[in-house]
């Protein structure tokens, strides 16, 4: 999993970075605070909000929110085809790319 951020101070905290490393997440940050570097992450966040979160009831608690977000991430990465990937899911595109290397 890749975690991409805009270099906000919260994303640079030692505890936050340690948590990402503990789950073997690839940490990615924008260069030189350039907002155009963050376009893909912003697009993904917009898709998640438009397609799911704006249409859902507010989670009852943190565990409920985690479960909802986990389901959305699974769907987005493993089941939702993307035009930019030639109608492959992100997982299929990654596997295709890794197998070609």
Q: Please check the confidence at residue 88 and state whether its pLDDT lies above 90.
A: yes
Host domain of residue 68: 56-101
Distance CA 20, CA 1 (A): 10
Distance CA 79, CA 99 (A): 20
Q: How many domains are contained in the chain?
A: 1
Tell me, yes or no, whether 90 lies in a domain. Answer: yes
Tell me, yes or no, whether 43 lies in a domain. Answer: no
The string of pLDDT tens digits covering residues 18-74 is: 988 898 888 877 777 666 777 777 788 888 888 888 888 889 999 998 999 899 989
CA distances from 9 to 3, 6, 18, 50 (A): 15, 9, 15, 27
pTM for the predicted model, two decimal places = 0.60
Tell me, yes or no, whether 63 lies in a domain. Answer: yes
pLDDT of the residue at 33: 66
Q: Where are the beta strands (DSSP E) in the chain?
A: 2-5, 26-29
Q: Please check the confidence at residue 89 and state whether its pLDDT lies above 90.
A: yes
Tell me, yes or no, whether 32 lies in a domain. Answer: no
Distance CA 16, CA 51 (A): 28
Tell me, yes or no, whether 65 lies in a domain. Answer: yes
Tell me, yes or no, whether 10 lies in a domain. Answer: no
Tell me, yes or no, whether 41 lies in a domain. Answer: no
């Amino acid at each position: 999993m890749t975690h991409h951020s805009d270099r906000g101070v919260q994303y640079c905290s030692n505890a936050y970075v340690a948590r990402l490393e503990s789950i073997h997440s690839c940490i990615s940050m924008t260069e030189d605070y350039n907002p155009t570097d963050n376009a893909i992450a912003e697009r993904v966040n917009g898709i998640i909000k438009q397609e799911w979160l704006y249409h859902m009831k507010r989670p009852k608690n943190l565990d409920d929110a985690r479960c909802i977000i986990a389901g959305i991430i699974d769907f987005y990465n493993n089941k939702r085809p993307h035009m930019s990937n030639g109608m492959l899911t992100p997982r299929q595109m990654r596997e295709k790319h890794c197998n070609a290397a």
